[in-house]
Amino acid sequence: MLPLLNLVSDKLRALPLVVLYITDGCNSRCVTCDIWKLPRRNMSMELVDQLAAEFPALGVKQVILSGGEAMQHPRWQEIAAKFRAVGTKVMLLTNGLFLKKQAQQVIDFVDALTVSLDGGTAQTYQAIRGVDAFDVILEGVSLIAAGGVPITTRTTVQRRNFRELPLIIDAAKAAGVGKISFLAVDTSNHEAFGPRFNDGSSIPLISVPDYALTADDLPAFAAILERLERDYAADFASGRMAESPQKLRRLYDYFAAPFEQATFVPPRCNAPHISTVIEVDGTIRPCFFLPASGKLGAEGLKAGINAAEAVDLRRAYRSGERSECARCVCPLYRGPRSLLGIS
């Protein structure tokens, strides 16, 4: 019942989901991200131990190991084991570059895997991710799928890859992927990547809007979405396509809205009421995009997520006062039935 109380208050009684940036290191070279250009920090094992000790009392059901590239933390397996030992399921969010090399470890230590797949061909993948790894990632995915770990591919849809959505689906299916997900490249918010290392400067290190679709791209994108709905009807029906056709059409609205060719309706989201993001050094955020609300200290995680700044940010986004929410590409919503584990 505790998670339900979160939905009627801006103070959190429970924390169903935690996203942990366990390292800033990354072996990818994505054109839309600056993390790989900056010095690496790894989450300390003391911080991991502190979190693992507090998770049961907060009812943390799932932890997402992220980064940077989570598999670049030299002790990611040990971290996963510590969280599993206290009853928390471990989801690994990865660029996939180490999956083939460490397939058995993923099978042994991880409950579910989400892999970025930003192209349907080796050329497009490399153009976006900066490394030649399309084939090796899919080989790793196949090995892990065969080992029984549920896998989701996630594609950040952008100008360079939107024509390859059918190829991406085909490649993911051939590798045994259970869920295929698409979200839009973030053209409006830089919080989730570079600026958190940018010494407070509001000037992003990269110009993300260059990756948005242009007005000229929109008819082709609409045609691709129609094709997906027609050619992959069985995959939509089975849930293998993570988003419904209606939800995918929101991607079109997102890219078309700046050209006044569609209206983008802000998403439904209660991420800050059911989850938190914790960075490498213990910095706490209500979600990927809202500002930091404090830092994990000796008083513990429950106090950290209920610090005055955090409660105020929750009240503000819930009241529609945060501009970040208007064009958010990665909202999360869980209703009461979902929080109670009723499907």
Say if residues 117 and 147 touch (Cβ distance below 8 Å): no
Burial of 219 (C-beta count, 10 Å sphere; 0-12/13-18/19+): exposed
Q: Which of 12, 17, 26, 277 binds ligand SF4 (CB under 6 A)?
A: 26
Out of 103, 310, 325, 339, which residue is the one contacting ligand SF4 (CB under 6 A)?
A: 325
Nearer to ligand SF4, 61 or 129 (CB): 129
Query: Is residue 117 part of the contact set for ligand SF4 (CB under 6 A)?
Result: no
By CB under 6 A, is residue 276 in contact with ligand SF4? no
Work out how close the CB of 194 gets to ligand SF4 at its nearest, in angstroms, rounded to a whole number: 9
| Binding map of ligand SF4 across residues 79-108, x = CB under 6 A, - = no contact | ----------------x-------------
Residue 289 near ligand SF4 by CB under 6 A: yes
Please, what's the b/e burial string for 267-288 (b: 16 or more CB within 10 A of its CB; e: otherwise)? bebbbbbbbbbbbbebbbbbbb
DSSP letter assigned to residue 231: H
Q: Which stretch binds ligand SF4 (CB under 6 A): 132-140, 164-172, 248-256, 319-327?
A: 319-327
Q: Which of 164, 211, 224, 207 is nearest to 184 (CA)?
A: 211
What are residue 165's DSSP bridge partners? none
Q: Which is nearer to ligand SF4, 67 or 282 (CB)?
A: 67
Per CB under 6 A, does 272 bind ligand SF4? yes
- Is position 192 an interface residue for ligand SF4 (rule: CB under 6 A)? no
Q: Is residue 28 a contact point for ligand SF4 (CB under 6 A)?
A: yes
The contacts found for 234-243 with CB under 8 angstroms, 24 or more apart, are 235/169, 235/173, 235/180, 239/179, 240/173, 240/177, 240/178, 240/179, 240/180, 241/169, 241/179, 241/180, 242/152, 242/179, 242/180, 242/181, 242/182, 243/181, 243/182
Axis-axis angle for helices 134-146, 122-129 (nearest 10): 100
Choice from 269, 280, 301, 310 touching ligand SF4 (CB under 6 A):
269
Which residue, 162 or 289, is less far from ligand SF4 as judged by CB?
289
Q: Which residue, 129 or 179, has its beta carbon nearer to ligand SF4?
A: 129
Identity at 142, one-letter amino acid code: S
For the packed helices 218-231 and 245-256, what is the interaxial angle rounded to 10 degrees?
Answer: 180
Cβ-contact 111, 90 below 8 angstroms:
yes
Residue 1's nearest CA partner among 20, 12, 11, 14 is 14
Nearer to ligand SF4, 28 or 276 (CB): 28
Q: How many residues sit in the footprint of ligand SF4 (CB under 6 A)?
A: 24
CA–CA distances in Å: residue 81 to residues 4, 31, 91: 28, 33, 12
Query: DSSP code of 8?
Result: T
Decide whether 36 or 254 has the Cβ nearer to ligand SF4. Answer: 36
Using CB under 6 A, pick the residue from 287, 296, 301, 339 that binds ligand SF4: 287
Question: Should residue 139 be labelled a site residue for ligand SF4 when binding is judged by CB under 6 A?
Answer: no
Binders of ligand SF4 in range 61-80 (CB under 6 A): 67-69
Stretch that binds ligand SF4, among 32-40, 53-61, 172-180, 243-251 (CB under 6 A): 32-40
- Position 331 contacts ligand SF4 (CB under 6 A): yes
Is 271 a binder of ligand SF4 (CB under 6 A)?
yes
Query: Diameter of the chain by CA atoms?
Result: 55
List 111, 243, 253, 324, residue binding ligand SF4 (CB under 6 A): 324
Instruction: Tell me the C-alpha distance between 150 and 62, whole Å.
Output: 14
What are the residues binding ligand SF4 (CB under 6 A)? 26, 28, 30, 33, 35-36, 67-69, 95, 267, 269, 271-272, 287, 289-290, 317, 322, 324-325, 328, 330-331
